């Protein structure tokens, strides 16, 4: 890790820069080409990309059959099945508590003018679940559980076919089976996002797309948004920031940093501490733990773009963190409760020495689909609300129209929108004639 000691606030912006992805314009251009191709050739294009990118020359059906689903799910070891079921229960319990009232309280904004809102599930959602070297069945739980709780009418799961054999990872199939998902598409990358956006013979078009992915998936989601399909949030490489005081355990902190670094070479981890002893201890623990990881080389590349920063006190560290706006924030301090109220930019916060970020990634119950790259300044992570839209209603009684009409007519005339004024005036005159 790069080590910095007592940088002043004027230096913070440079230290908070995320690793830059090479040639984002080129990535967007390639994603756009794939988008256009899928729009024109549909399933044929998806099969071609499965051969090109996933090494599956003869994919066959793009949809997972009921037999494939059952057979794949049955391969999951019993211990993992128990773990997935427990994680699902925790996620379901936390998100069910977020369920809104079907109809919010009606408000009479002035006599005879009634307004209210109703929460309605997004009808058709697409869940993109990365496969490859790390099939993220945990992400399927994070997205599938709230989608089912919200009551989305159609849930389409896209995940890449396994390299060579075209099979979906058994744990993803087991999680899908637990959630009752049946529309499972063997497609990954930008081509899957394109298919969910435009629809193909095998892939239904959806209204909103959820899920993480590589640079091409992220670019494709941006293109989907341009075509009128909503997305969960802007997303990029995973990241964690740890605030550690002298009470922290260096081994714990190093493990937390490595748990994010192993996600990918473009992940970023940041350590803030007011203790030179903790800084040195964490660096030593990183050197000890790193070679033991199966994904050590990936983590090593991430650490090269990561930082350990010595700052004078906890409050200064908190100021740095709020400016950085981390996806994950770990408060490895003696009294995390004293800091919690002053956190205003973070995706998800992990309180104290016994709350590693890994529990949020899997099974505490909170959602791990979170804003990265500083977007936590303005975006929330995925929640049950993400799968709802709010529809407003209003209804006027005769005396309500009579009272409100002069207000609307005056405003419409001032803006030069005569038809707006006329729509109200005609009704006002109609009511007056009946009296």
Q: Which residues sit in the known binding site for substrate?
A: 238, 260, 263, 328, 361, 415, 420
CB 51 within 8 A of CB 57: yes
Q: Which candidate, 171, 121, 181, 169, places its Cα nearest to that of 145? A: 181
Backbone angles phi, psi at 360, to 5 degrees: -70, -30
Judged by DSSP in three states, 202 sits in coil
Judged by DSSP in three states, 342 sits in coil
**Cα 266 from Cα 18, distance rounded (Å):** 9
Q: Which candidate, 232, 202, 217, 190, places its Cα nearest to that of 384? A: 232
Q: Which candidate, 161, 154, 152, 155, places its Cα nearest to that of 130? A: 161
- Please indicate whether residue 327 is annotated as part of the active site: yes
Q: Which candidate, 388, 407, 400, places its Cα nearest to that of 153? A: 388
CA 255 to chain centre: 23
Q: Which residues is 244 bridged to in the sheet? A: 273, 332
Judged by DSSP in three states, 199 sits in coil
CB 253 within 8 A of CB 271: yes
Measured between alpha carbons, how far is residue 360 from residues 68, 70, 87, 254, 299 in Å? 30, 28, 10, 17, 20
CB 179 within 8 A of CB 145: yes
> Which residue among 327, 357, 368, 409 is the active-site one?
327
Backbone angles phi, psi at 347, to 5 degrees: -80, -50
**Cα 421 from Cα 338, distance rounded (Å):** 55
Residue numbers in the known binding site are 128, 191, 214, 238, 260, 263, 328, 361, 415, 420
- Please indicate whether residue 328 is annotated as part of the active site: yes
Angle at 136 between CA 134 and CA 139, to 5 degrees: 155
> Which residue among 178, 285, 305, 328 is the active-site one?
328
The catalytic residue positions are 327-328
């Amino acid at each position: 890790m790069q080590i910095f000691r007592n940088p002043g606030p004027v230096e913070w912006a440079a230290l908070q820069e995320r690793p830059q992805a090479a040639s984002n314009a080129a990535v967007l251009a390639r994603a756009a080409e794939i988008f256009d191709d899928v729009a024109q050739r549909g399933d044929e294009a998806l099969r071609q990309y499965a051969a090109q990118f996933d090494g599956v020359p003869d994919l066959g059906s793009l949809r997972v059959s009921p037999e494939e689903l059952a057979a794949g799910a049955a391969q999951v070891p019993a211990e993992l099945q128990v773990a997935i079921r427990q994680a699902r229960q925790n996620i379901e319990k936390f998100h069910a508590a977020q369920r809104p009232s079907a109809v919010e309280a009606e408000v009479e904004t002035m006599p005879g003018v009634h307004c209210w809102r109703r929460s309605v599930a997004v009808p058709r959602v697409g869940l993109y679940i990365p496969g490859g070297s790390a099939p993220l069945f945990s992400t399927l739980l994070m997205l599938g559980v709230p989608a089912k709780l919200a009551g989305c009418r159609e849930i389409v799961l896209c995940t890449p076919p396994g390299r060579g054999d075209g099979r979906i990872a058994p744990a993803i199939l087991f999680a899908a089976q637990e959630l009752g998902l049946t529309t499972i598409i063997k497609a990954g990358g930008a081509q899957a996002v394109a298919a969910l956006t435009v629809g193909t013979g095998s892939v239904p078009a959806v209204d909103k797309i959820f899920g993480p992915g590589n640079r091409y998936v992220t670019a494709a989601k941006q293109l989907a948004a341009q075509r009128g399909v909503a997305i969960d949030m802007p997303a990029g490489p995973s990241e964690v920031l740890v605030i550690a005081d002298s009470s922290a355990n260096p081994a714990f902190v190093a493990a937390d940093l490595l748990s994010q670094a192993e996600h990918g070479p473009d992940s970023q981890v940041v350590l803030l501490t007011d203790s030179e002893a903790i800084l040195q201890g964490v660096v030593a623990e990183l050197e000890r733990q790193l070679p033991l990881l199966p994904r050590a080389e990936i983590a090593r590349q991430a650490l090269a773009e990561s930082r350990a920063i010595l700052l004078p006190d906890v409050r200064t560290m908190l100021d740095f963190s709020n400016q950085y706006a981390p996806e994950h924030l770990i408060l490895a301090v003696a009294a995390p409760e004293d800091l919690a109220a002053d956190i205003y930019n973070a995706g998800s916060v992990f309180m104290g020495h016994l709350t590693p970020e890994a529990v949020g990634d899997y099974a505490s119950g909170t959602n791990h689909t979170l804003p990265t790259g500083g977007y936590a300044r303005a975006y929330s992570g995925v929640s049950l609300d993400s799968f709802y839209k709010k529809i407003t209603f209003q209804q006027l009684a005769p005396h309500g129209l009579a009272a409100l009409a002069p207000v609307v007519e005056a405003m419409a005339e001032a803006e030069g929108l005569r038809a707006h004024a006329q729509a109200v005036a005609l009704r006002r005159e109609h009511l007056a004639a009946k009296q």
